[in-house]
Amino acid sequence: MFNSLKGLVVTFMSTVNGLRAPVTRQYPDSGDFLMRKTAEPTPVKDRFMGFPALTWDDEVVEPFCTSCMVCIRQCPTQCMTSTMKDNPLHEEGKSSRRKIVDSFEINLNRCILCGICVEVCNFDAIVMTHEHEMSTSSRNGDRVDLPKLLEIGYKFQKETDWIPPTKRVKAGKDEEPEAAKAEAE
């Protein structure tokens, strides 16, 4: 008898809790007419790390990536592959990069978003973007190739006004403002 009453109380409490506003965001669409107001993506914070992508050098009109394989060797999940080729712009004297990326692929199903590839890259060629909604229904659909990686990276560069760290150092933008230095002392 006591257990039956206890079960009824649990059922009643779960029913009452079901009448409260939902905690989970329904996105892209819940199918429920009451929830359609919240069917929008959750805003992403500036320091959010989404999937990796390759960056584009607008000055030379080529990717920053030289396919040196450092990121691939350091990746704990080995989710990247790459090949390089001779840079035709270097032969013309338009670029300082002798080699350039020919193909690059990342398996996003294996990527753990650790950011090691970004840290070890000597050419500022790879960034952790804000892209996080790239699911597919096919088994190998999350393999992203060079054109798509450059597209995602270029979009990230435009949205965030990204400047390569090596160019920031040359321009003196990494230095602390004088007011911050004074407060620290």
What pLDDT is recorded for position 27?
57
Q: E-assigned strands of the chain?
A: 52-54, 56-57, 62-63, 80-86, 99-107, 126-128, 143-145
Distance CA(172)–CA(152), nearest Å, equals 28
Domain extent listing, the chain: 52-171
Note the pTM of the prediction, 2 decimals.
0.69
Convert the pLDDT of each residue in 96-107 to its tens digit. Answer: 899 999 999 999
Q: Using one digit for the tens of pLDDT, what is the confidence trace for 148-185?
A: 999 999 999 999 999 887 777 777 655 544 444 444 44
Give the model's pLDDT for residue 110.
Answer: 92
CATH number of this structure's domain 52-171: 3.30.70.3270
